[in-house]
Amino acid sequence: MEQLYADYCLNFDSSMHTLNMMQQECAEFCARLVVLQNDLRHPLSVDTYLLKPVQRIMRYQLMLQECLKQCKNVLAQLTSPEFVDSPDGCDPISKFGGLSELRQSEVTLSHALTRMIRIAEYINKRKADCDLISHLGTLHLNMDDLGDLLLKGYFRVLGKKAQRFILLFHGAVVVCKLVVPNVPANELCVHSLVTVSGANEVKNESRNSLEVHEVIRCDELMLIECIPKDPLAFHILPFGNPKSQHTLQAPSAEIKRVWCREMKRLILEHYNAAIPDKVKAIVLNMSEAGAMKTGFVPSIGISDRIPVKPACSY
């Protein structure tokens, strides 16, 4: 459901552009639309019908909130002591045989509201990702080579005041630096920067920018997962250029686990030789403690158990 709504909303502008172009350039198409509209007795035009689902995404949430509020109010009144001890001596169940149905309706409305909130959040996330990818494309990055955006987030860098904004694509890791532009919010940033509007991770700034520092392709990526005395930190660097190492500190152990697991998966996936699935599973599920106990050193290879070059050794 989330995917369906997100695809529809994100493709709406493109759909309207195509519809307007067809209406302007193809008289036969316009005539056919008029015939269909008359035959079906639809009072609204096609573009209006296309707009309805987009408009109603947030209205559904507001409607469900109001319905749930009223449902709870009625239940509170029916089960209140004043109502139960009313002069006629009747309990709420005898007065309202549908009390159990009303409670079930409350549960159903609550689930529906949660689902619609989740859909709205997913649409906002997809929209933000699309905007970010579009801006990255203005920096002459080949977004087709990068592939799908899998993860994004802010990490602290040891010895640096500013955080790094890291984007993990299917084909590469993009390391960026957060920059607050010295221009009014209503002015455009210079085209060498990537504008990020409304990023929840950036506090007290309505408009910020990103400078791309480095792009590390996954087939050249090395990951050092175990950092002494810093359980939240890990290194990433391109094979063949150890001076370009980035030491990132995750906000939590769970975030580090998710990122390291995904990067290990991509490194294995981009390796140019076959690796047994059983070995892949062992590597992906190997924690820092497990790696240290078994003698697995992420920075120098998968030992002699896998015949791989150091570039695939995390």
pLDDT tens column, 5-50: 888 888 888 899 999 999 888 888 888 988 998 898 888 888 888 8
- Site of tokens 């002494």: 228
Residue that is last in its domain, among 111, 132, 153:
132
- On whether both 112 and 168 belong to a single domain, the answer is no
- On whether both 7 and 97 belong to a single domain, the answer is yes
- On whether both 110 and 233 belong to a single domain, the answer is no
Whether 291 shows a pLDDT value over 50: the answer reads no
Mean pLDDT of the chain: 76
From 64-68, 70-74, 105-109, 178-182, the region with the lowest mean pLDDT:
178-182
Whether 260 shows a pLDDT value over 70: the answer reads yes
- On whether both 195 and 278 belong to a single domain, the answer is yes
- On whether both 301 and 180 belong to a single domain, the answer is yes
pLDDT at 262: 92
pLDDT at 45: 85
- On whether both 174 and 238 belong to a single domain, the answer is yes
The more confident residue out of 98 and 258 is 258
Number of domains in the chain: 2
Whether 255 shows a pLDDT value over 90: the answer reads yes
φ/ψ (deg, to 5) at 89: 75, 5
- On whether both 190 and 240 belong to a single domain, the answer is yes
Residue that is last in its domain, among 69, 97, 132:
132
Residue 175 forms beta bridges with which residues? 166, 214
Residue that is last in its domain, among 92, 115, 132:
132
pLDDT at 162: 81
Range of the domain at 198: 138-312
Whether 56 shows a pLDDT value over 60: the answer reads yes
Give the contacts of 161 (CB within 8 A, at least 6 positions apart).
none
The secondary structure element, H or E, covering residue 52 is: helix 46-78
Over pLDDT 90: what percentage of the chain? 20
Determine the Cα–Cα distance for residues 91 and 83; give it in Å rounded to an integer. Answer: 8
Over residues 160-181, the mean pLDDT reads: 84
Q: Can you give the pTM of this predicted structure?
A: 0.62
The more confident residue out of 241 and 84 is 241
Over residues 51-64, the mean pLDDT reads: 88
- On whether both 294 and 184 belong to a single domain, the answer is yes
- On whether both 159 and 111 belong to a single domain, the answer is no
SS3 85: coil
Whether 174 shows a pLDDT value over 50: the answer reads yes
pLDDT at 254: 93
The more confident residue out of 103 and 298 is 103
Q: Which residue type occupies 183?
A: V
- On whether both 185 and 223 belong to a single domain, the answer is yes
The more confident residue out of 191 and 60 is 60
CATH number at residue 264: 2.30.29.30
Over residues 155-161, the mean pLDDT reads: 83
Determine the Cα–Cα distance for residues 5 and 64; give it in Å rounded to an integer. Answer: 17
pLDDT at 203: 36
- On whether both 182 and 97 belong to a single domain, the answer is no
- On whether both 69 and 127 belong to a single domain, the answer is yes
- Site of tokens 């497990």: 290
pLDDT at 271: 78
> Is-contact 237 246, C-beta < 8 A?
yes
pLDDT at 151: 92
pLDDT at 253: 92
**How many angstroms separate the first and last alpha carbons of the chain?**
37
pLDDT tens column, 206-222: 345 778 888 999 888 98
pLDDT at 189: 35
